[in-house]
Chains A and B, each alone.
Chain A
Amino acid sequence: MPTEPSAERGPWSLALRRFLRNRLAVAFLGVFLLIVVFVLAAPLWADHVAHTGPNEEHTVEQITVDGEQKDVVTPEGKPIGPQWFGADGKFFLGADSRLGRDEMVRLMYGGRTSLLVGITAALLATILAIVLGLLAGYFRGWVDSLIARTLDTIWSLPVFLIGLSFGIALAVGGLDLGFVELSGGSLWIPILIISIFTVPYIARPIRGEVLALSEKEFVEAAIAQGASPGRVMFTEILPNLASTVIVFFTLMIANSMLFEAGLSFLGAGVQPPNSSWGTMITVGVELLRIQPLLAILPGAMIMLTVLALNIVGDGLRDALDPRGKARMDAALQFEAQAGAGGGAAI
Chain B
Amino acid sequence: MVRFVARRLVGMITVLFAVSLIVFVVFMVLPKQNPAQSLAGKNATPLLVKSIEEEWGFDESLPQQYLTMMERVFTGELIQYEPRIPVSDRVIEGIPATFSLTIGAAAIWLFFGLLLGYLSAVRAGGWLDRILTGVSIAGISIPVFLLAPVLIYVFANKLEILPNGQYVPFSEDPTEWLKHLILPWITLAVLSIGFYSRVLRSNMLDVMNEDYVRTARAKGLSERQVMTRHVLRNSLIPVITLFGLDFGATIAGTAIITEVIFSIDGIGNYAAEGVGKFELPPIMGVALYGAFFVVLLNTIVDVVYAYLDPRVRLGETASS
Q: Which residue numbers of A lie inside 8 Å of B, CB to CB?
A: 140-141, 145, 148-149, 152-153, 155-162, 164-166, 168-170, 172-173, 200-201, 204-205, 208, 211-212, 215, 243, 247, 251, 254, 258, 261-262, 265-266, 278, 281-282, 284-285, 288-289, 295, 299, 302-303, 305-307, 310-311, 317, 323-324, 326-328, 330-332, 334-335, 338, 340-346
**A285-B208 contact given A141-B319, A165-B26, A343-B125, CB 8 Å threshold:** no
Residues of A with C-beta under 8 A to B143: 258, 261-262, 265, 278, 281, 299, 302
Sample (21) of A-B pairs whose CB atoms are under 8 Å apart: A141-B319, A145-B11, A158-B283, A158-B290, A165-B30, A165-B278, A169-B32, A173-B32, A212-B312, A254-B140, A258-B141, A262-B257, A281-B146, A284-B146, A285-B145, A299-B146, A324-B205, A332-B125, A335-B125, A346-B129, A346-B130
Task: Give the residue name and chain of the B residue nearest to A340 (CB).
Answer: B126
| Complex Cα spacing A313 to B295, Å | 32
Residues of A with C-beta under 8 A to B141: 254, 258, 302-303, 305-307
**A201-B126 contact given A149-B15, A254-B140, CB 8 Å threshold:** no
Q: Does B92 contact A (CB under 8 A)?
A: no
Task: Give the residue name and chain of the A residue nearest to B12 (CB).
Answer: A152
Residues of B with C-beta under 8 A to A324: 205-206
Task: Give the residue name and chain of the A residue nearest to B206 (CB).
Answer: A327
Q: Does B87 contact A (CB under 8 A)?
A: no
Please state if B30 and A306 are interface contacts (CB–CB under 8 Å). Answer: no
| Complex Cα spacing A230 to B265, Å | 51
Task: Give the residue name and chain of the B residue nearest to A150 (CB).
Answer: B18
Task: Give the residue name and chain of the B residue nearest to A173 (CB).
Answer: B32
Please state if A200 and B245 are interface contacts (CB–CB under 8 Å). Answer: yes
Q: A327 touches which one: B23, B27, B205 (CB < 8 A)?
A: B205
Residues of A with C-beta under 8 A to B298: 152, 155
Residues of A with C-beta under 8 A to B238: 205, 208
Please state if A211 and B290 are interface contacts (CB–CB under 8 Å). Answer: no
Please state if B153 and A288 are interface contacts (CB–CB under 8 Å). Answer: yes
**A303-B206 contact given A162-B23, A331-B124, CB 8 Å threshold:** no
Please state if B125 and A153 are interface contacts (CB–CB under 8 Å). Answer: no
Task: Give the residue name and chain of the A residue nearest to B268 (CB).
Answer: A160
Q: Does B14 contact A (CB under 8 A)?
A: yes
Q: Does B256 contact A (CB under 8 A)?
A: yes
Please state if B126 and A341 are interface contacts (CB–CB under 8 Å). Answer: yes
Task: Give the residue name and chain of the B residue nearest to A311 (CB).
Answer: B137
- Which 3 pairs across A and B sit closest by C-beta, in order of nearness? A327-B209, A306-B141, A156-B291
Q: B15 touches which one: A156, A288, A306, A317 (CB < 8 A)?
A: A156
Q: B295 touches which one: A156, A265, A338 (CB < 8 A)?
A: A156
| Complex Cα spacing A334 to B202, Å | 16
Give B220 Cβ to nearest chain A Cβ, in Å: 15
Task: Give the residue name and chain of the B residue nearest to A168 (CB).
Answer: B31
Please state if B18 and A205 are interface contacts (CB–CB under 8 Å). Answer: no
Q: Which residue numbers of B lie inside 8 Å of A, CB to CB?
A: 7, 11, 14-15, 18-19, 22-23, 26-27, 30-32, 121, 123-127, 129-130, 133-134, 137-138, 140-146, 149-150, 153, 195, 198, 202, 205-206, 208-209, 223, 237-238, 241-242, 245, 248-249, 252-254, 256-257, 271-272, 274-275, 278, 283, 286-287, 290-291, 294-295, 298, 305, 309, 311-312, 315-316, 319-320
Residues of A with C-beta under 8 A to B14: 149
Residues of B with C-beta under 8 A to A328: 124-125, 205
**A157-B205 contact given A212-B309, A306-B140, CB 8 Å threshold:** no
Please state if B252 and A156 are interface contacts (CB–CB under 8 Å). Answer: yes
Please state if B15 and A295 are interface contacts (CB–CB under 8 Å). Answer: no
Give A336 Cβ to nearest chain B Cβ, in Å: 10
Residues of B with C-beta under 8 A to A262: 143-145, 257
**A155-B294 contact given A165-B26, A262-B257, CB 8 Å threshold:** yes
| Complex Cα spacing A346 to B131, Å | 11
Please state if A149 and B125 are interface contacts (CB–CB under 8 Å). Answer: no
Give B198 Cβ to nearest chain A Cβ, in Å: 8
| Complex Cα spacing A306 to B223, Å | 34
Residues of B with C-beta under 8 A to A306: 137, 140-141
| Complex Cα spacing A302 to B249, Å | 24
Residues of A with C-beta under 8 A to B140: 251, 254, 306
| Complex Cα spacing A173 to B121, Å | 50
Task: Give the residue name and chain of the A residue nearest to B148 (CB).
Answer: A285
Please state if A160 and B254 are interface contacts (CB–CB under 8 Å). Answer: yes
Give B132 Cβ to nearest chain A Cβ, in Å: 10
Please state if A282 and B316 are interface contacts (CB–CB under 8 Å). Answer: no
Beyond A165-B31, A323-B209, 17 extra complex contacts between A and B, CB < 8 Å = A140-B316, A157-B23, A158-B271, A158-B290, A162-B23, A165-B278, A168-B278, A173-B32, A204-B241, A212-B312, A262-B145, A265-B257, A295-B146, A307-B138, A307-B141, A332-B124, A334-B208
Please state if B153 and A159 are interface contacts (CB–CB under 8 Å). Answer: no
Task: Give the residue name and chain of the A residue nearest to B204 (CB).
Answer: A331
Residues of B with C-beta under 8 A to A161: 23, 271, 274-275, 283, 286-287
**A330-B315 contact given A160-B256, A161-B287, CB 8 Å threshold:** no
Give A222 Cβ to nearest chain B Cβ, in Å: 17
| Complex Cα spacing A190 to B207, Å | 37
Please state if A159 and B254 are interface contacts (CB–CB under 8 Å). Answer: yes
Residues of B with C-beta under 8 A to A149: 11, 14-15, 18
Task: Give the residue name and chain of the A residue nearest to B298 (CB).
Answer: A152
Residues of B with C-beta under 8 A to A285: 145-146, 149
| Complex Cα spacing A342 to B238, Å | 28
Task: Give the residue name and chain of the B residue nearest to A323 (CB).
Answer: B209
Residues of A with C-beta under 8 A to B130: 346
**A205-B31 contact given A152-B295, A160-B254, A262-B257, CB 8 Å threshold:** no
Residues of B with C-beta under 8 A to A311: 137
Give B269 Cβ to nearest chain A Cβ, in Å: 12
| Complex Cα spacing A145 to B299, Å | 13
| Complex Cα spacing A284 to B123, Å | 39
Please state if A335 and B295 are interface contacts (CB–CB under 8 Å). Answer: no
Give A315 Cβ to nearest chain B Cβ, in Å: 12
Give B134 Cβ to nearest chain A Cβ, in Å: 8
